[in-house]
Amino acid sequence: MNSPAAVPVLAVRGAQKYFGAIHALKDVGLEAYKGEVLALLGDNGAGKSTLVKCICGIHALDEGEILIDGEPVALRSAAAARVAGIETVYQDLALFDNLSPTQNFFCGREIGFPAWLPLPLRFLKSAEMDRSAAAVIQRLKVNLPKFDAPVALMSGGQRQAIAVARATVFARKVVILDEPTAALGLRESRKVLDLIKQLRAEGNAVILITHNMEHVVELADRAVVLRQGRKVGELKPDSSNQRELISMIVGAEP
């Protein structure tokens, strides 16, 4: 958990975003600290996806700023966000079904030689990439019976774990997870929840978007609630304040 004097790994200040006449984000701010899980909550249309897309470089803020380790950054593309240390796992996972876990890990970022050649012309260091991917899978305690098999042949939980593990290979600051247990059974969801706890234990700042309040209570150190493009509340989730959180999400009286 963060201390009052800690500098947030990620901070959003005064975020404003318009899509024509639609005011999608209205002076939104949040902070994410090293070694914590921050739940980003809200009903459909609350502004969660827009905010995340601004953080990961897909959209540019119309007003406001994003800071990494206290320094303002210009995230004008998804590549710029990745360079800044921000990785996102979307609900559709964005995996290549015909490729192995290693190939999915390093797709577009392959390790090759000689370094002076353009990447498409380099010889791939396949063994080095295999060792690197296997080390991450082992560190995160993910069970993959066939590490060289196409991900299309793997279960939903294994595919989700591969997507999360891929993000941790390159994320140096923040991992954003969008509905990471959606469409998973209880056993596979449990594996993903354990993986999120492992990410936090390793010092990552994790932003978790989910509608599952049980997972919020179990995992989140703090929860930020958006409604109609505004930040309407922030608190530490526990079993005693679930109704308060739900009230903030739907706009009802607590």
- DSSP codes joined into one string, 66-107: EEETTEEE---SHHHHHHTTEEEE-TTTT--TTS-HHHHHHT
Residue 27 lies in a domain: yes
Q: How confident is the model over 14-47, as pLDDT tens digits?
A: 999 999 999 999 999 999 999 999 999 999 999 9
**Residue 181 belongs to domain spanning:** 10-98+155-250
The number of domains in the chain is 1
Rounded-to-integer distance, Cα 189 and Cα 181, Å: 5
Structure tokens at 47: 């502004």
Residue 106 lies in a domain: no
- The stretch 131-146 carries a mean pLDDT of 80
pTM of the model: 0.86
List the CATH number of the domain containing 73: 3.40.50.300
pLDDT of residue 105: 86
pLDDT of residue 21: 94
C-alpha distances in Å from residue 21, one per residue of 24, 25, 34, 42, 44: 9, 12, 36, 21, 19
Residue 220 lies in a domain: yes
Structure tokens at 149: 């098999």
Q: How confident is the model over 183-238, as pLDDT tens digits?
A: 778 887 888 898 899 889 989 999 999 999 999 999 999 999 999 999 999 999 99
- Reported as a pLDDT band with limits 50, 70 and 90, residue 254 is low
Residue 127 lies in a domain: no
Q: How confident is the model over 59-115, as pLDDT tens digits?
A: 999 999 999 999 999 999 998 998 899 999 887 777 889 999 888 888 878 888 888
Three-state secondary-structure class, residue 209? strand
**Cβ 226 vs Cβ 42: under 8 Å:** yes
- Reported as a pLDDT band with limits 50, 70 and 90, residue 55 is very high
